[in-house]
Structure 1
Amino acid sequence: MGGLDLRELECFLVLGEELHFGRTAQRLYVSQGRVSQLVRALERRIGGRLFERTSRRVRPTPLGERLLAELRPGYDAVHAAVDSARAAARGVEGTLRLGFLAGTGHGELVDAIRTFQRRHTGSEVVLTEVPLADPFGDLRRGEIDAAVVMLPVAEPDLVVGPSFSRQPQTLAVSARHPLARRASVTAEDLAACPMLDIGGSAPGYWREISAPATTPGGRAIPRGPAVRTMQEALTTIAADRGGMLFCAPTARSQNRPDVVFVPVTGLPDSVLGLVWHRERETARLRAFGRALAEGA
C-alpha cells in the first residue's frame, strides 16, 4: 500500500459515511480523539484537507469526496476477497439466526436478507423477535447469531456492525390525548406526556431512546407504567396511560385507530444497527453484515 495505513483509510471511509466523529468512534471502538488523529495523519499523507469540520457539522471537501469515490470500490474489493477466503475456509452456508425488534423488520433489512440469500444459495435467515425488555439476552445466551436493535448500544461484549434506517422520531399517544390533535410536537412538549418505561433487563441508557426522562431543555418527563413488549406498549398507549417514541417506519407499520403517531421535532433521528456477540463472529455473519451495509 506504499506506506499507507489501512486504519487511517478505514477511519476515513467510516467518517465519510457517518459525518460524525462520535458515531465513527463508536463503530471503530476508538476514542473521538483517535478518529481525529487518524484523519489528520491521512491528510498529511495526502497533502490536503479531506473534511471541513465545524462545531455543527462534518462534510467532505471536494478532495475528500473524490478520494471517497475512488477508494471505496478498492476497499470493498479487499474485504470481499478476505470474506471469500474465510467463506472457503469456514463456510458461509447454513442458517443465520437473526433477532429483530418488533417494527424493525422492513425496508433495508428485508432487502439485505434477500441479497444475502441470493448470493449464498446454501444459506437461510431465520427471524426471531426479541423483546423490548431484554434486547440482548438472546444474543448472550447464544440463541441467535445477531440482532437488529435501536442504537446506541454500548455493551462491552457486543459488537456494533452496520447501521441503517436513520429516520425521524414520532410520539405514539392515545387518540384521545390532547397531543394527538397536533400536526407535530416539539421535544419540549414531551413534558406534557408520561413516557412508558421499558421494564426488564434493558440497560438504562437504551430505555432512554424510547422513553427519555427529560427534554433537551432539561424539563422532567413524567414516567408511565412499565411494558415489556411492543404489543403491551401499544395497548397501554391506547388506554391513554402514557406515550412512547417510535421511529417513523415503525409508526407506519402500525394500523390502530386508537393510537396516533405524531412527528417530533428537536430530537436526534432514530437509527437501527446490527449487533452480535464479540466471541461469536463468523464468516456467515460478516457476509450478512456486508449485504446490510451495501443497502443502507
Structure 2
Amino acid sequence: MLERHQVEAFLTLAEELHFGRTAERIRVTPTRVSQTIRKLERIVGAELFARTSRRVELTTIGRQLEQDLRPAWTQTIAAFQRAVEAGRGVTGTLRVAFDNVVGGTLLAAAAELFCEKNPDCAVQLREAQLREIMHWLCENEVDVACSALPIQEQSIMAGHTLISEPRLLAVSSSHPLARQNSVSIEELAGVTVLRPPEFLAKSLCDEHAPCAAEQPIGYGPSAATFQGLLVLVGAGRGVLAVGASVATYYPWPQISYIPFRNAEPVEWGLIWRAANTNARVQAFIGSARELC
C-alpha cells in the first residue's frame, strides 16, 4: 500500500525532474527523495525515472503512473481540505473576480452580506479582462467569479441564475438598424457580427452572436477586451449582442442599443472550480442567492 510521503515525492519529482528542487518542495533531503523513489521502483518492479548525471526523465511506466495517480491524488487532497475548512468554519480570505460592471456590482453587494454573516473571513475583489476569468479559476488565483451563463467547461461549476436582463443589439449609430425600434435574431444573417474572442469559453460564444437564422452569420473582426469590441461597434465594423445593462454603463454617442424581439435574456451567475467547493465558496454562493 502506498504511503502519503511516497506519492508526494513521486508526483513532485515528476513535475520538477530534479532531486534537489523536489527535496526543497517537500522539505526533506535529496537522499531521502532518492531512497523513496528507489523503494517505489522496487514495489513496481521497474524504473520510474531514467537518471543521468545531467537530467532526470520519466520512463514510459513512470509517465503512465503519474497520469493515473495525479487526478486521484488531487481529489483526495481537495476532499481533505474541504473537511478541514468545514471543521474550522468560514475563515481566511475568499478571492472573487468580475470582468464587467454587472458582475462587480453583484459581487460587491454579496461580499458585504457575506462578511456580515462571516466576520472571520475577508473578501478580496479582483477586476479581470475577458480572457482572465477562466485562467484565474483554473490556476486557482481566484475562488469564485461572476460570469454570463451557461458555462459548460470541464471542472467548472456554475450556480443558479442570479441576474437576468433583456438582450440588446449594439450597432453603430450610423447603421441602418439604428433607425429601428427593435430587431430579430434572423436579421443578424444580413449584417456583420463581431467575432467572439478565440479564448472565450465555447459555451459563451452565443452570448455575443445568438443565431437562429437560416442563413449563416457573417463574422467580422474581434477584440481582446469588451471595450475593444464596443470600439469596433462604434466604428461600424460590426454589431454585438449585449445585456441591457451595457446601455446604462456604456452610453457611447457612436453606439445605439436596439432591443431584440425574440432573443433569450442574458443570464449571470457565479462559477467556481469543482475541486474548490469549500466552506467559504458555499457560504458566498448562499449570500449571493439570498441577495438576489
Q: TM-score range by the shorter chain?
A: 0.5 to 0.7
Q: Say whether the 8 Å CA contact 1:116–1:287 is kept in structure 2.
A: yes
CA distance in 2, matches of 1:200, 1:295: 34
Shift of 1:116: 0.9
1:276 offset after TM fit, Å? 0.5
SS in 1 for 2:177: helix
Q: Which has the higher strand share?
A: 1
Query: What is aligned with 1:184?
Result: 182
In the TM superposition, what are the counterparts of 1:204-215 in structure 2 within 5 Å? 204-212=202-210, 215=211
Q: 1:240 aligns with which of 230, 233, 236?
A: 236
Q: Deviations over 1:74-108 (max 9, x none)?
A: xxxxxxxxxxx987623323322111122323554
SS in 1 for 2:187: helix
Match of 1:225 in 2: 221
Match in the other structure for 1:271: 267
Aligned to 1:16: none
Could you tell which deviates more after superposition, 273-282 or 183-192?
A: 183-192
Equivalent-residue separation in structure 2 for 1:256 and 1:185 (angstroms): 20
C-alpha separation between the residues in 2 aligned to 1:279 and 1:106? 24
Q: Distance in 2 between matches of 1:135 and 1:128?
A: 10
Check whether the contact 1:134–1:200 (CA below 8 A) recurs between aligned residues: no
Match of 2:255 among 256, 259, 268: 259
Structure 1 counterpart of 2:291 = 295
In structure 2, relative to structure 1, the CA distance for the partners of 1:129 and 1:107 (3 Å cut) is closer
Mapped contact 1:197–1:225 kept (Cα < 8 A): yes
Name the aligned partner's letter for residue 258 of structure 2: V
Query: Partners in 2 of 1:127 and 1:108 — Cα distance?
Result: 11
The verdict on how the C-alpha distance between 1:166 and 1:95 changes in structure 2, with shifts beyond 3 A counting, is: same
Q: Report the TM-score when normalising by structure 2.
A: 0.66
Candidates 100, 114, 117, aligned match of 1:116:
114
Q: For residues 24-173 of structure 1, what are the structure 2 equivalents within 5 Å?
A: 89-105=87-103, 108-173=106-171
Measured at CA, do residues 132 and 195 of structure 1 come closer, stay the same or move farther in structure 2, by a change above 3 Å? farther
What is the alpha-carbon root mean square deviation over aligned residues?
2.1
Large movers: runs of 4+ above 4 Å: 85-88
Question: In structure 1, the residue corresponding to 2:94 is in which secondary structure?
Answer: strand
SS of residue matched to 2:217? coil
Aligned partners of 1:106, 1:148: CA distance in 2, in Å? Answer: 8
CA deviation digits over 1:173-210, x for unaligned, max 9? Answer: 11111111222111112223311122232233321221
- Structure 2 runs not aligned, ≥5 long: 1-82
TM-score by length of 1: 0.65
**Distance 1:288-1:193 versus aligned 2 partners, 3 A rule:** same
Structure 1: state its 5+ residue gaps.
1-84
Q: Which letter does structure 2 place at the counterpart of 1:220? A: P
Q: What letter is aligned with 2:201?
A: P
* Aligned-partner residue type, residue 252 of structure 1: T
Count of aligned positions: 210
How far apart in 2 are the matches of 1:203 and 1:98? 19
Query: Which range moves more in the overlay, 274-283 or 251-260?
Result: 251-260
Q: Which residue of 2 aligns with 1:198?
A: 196
CA contact (8 A) 2:168 2:244 kept: yes
Secondary structure class of the residue paired with 2:102: coil
Provide the C-alpha distance between the structure 2 equivalents of 1:292 and 1:92, rounded to a whole number of angstroms. Answer: 16
* 1:196 and 1:242 in contact (8 A); partners too: yes
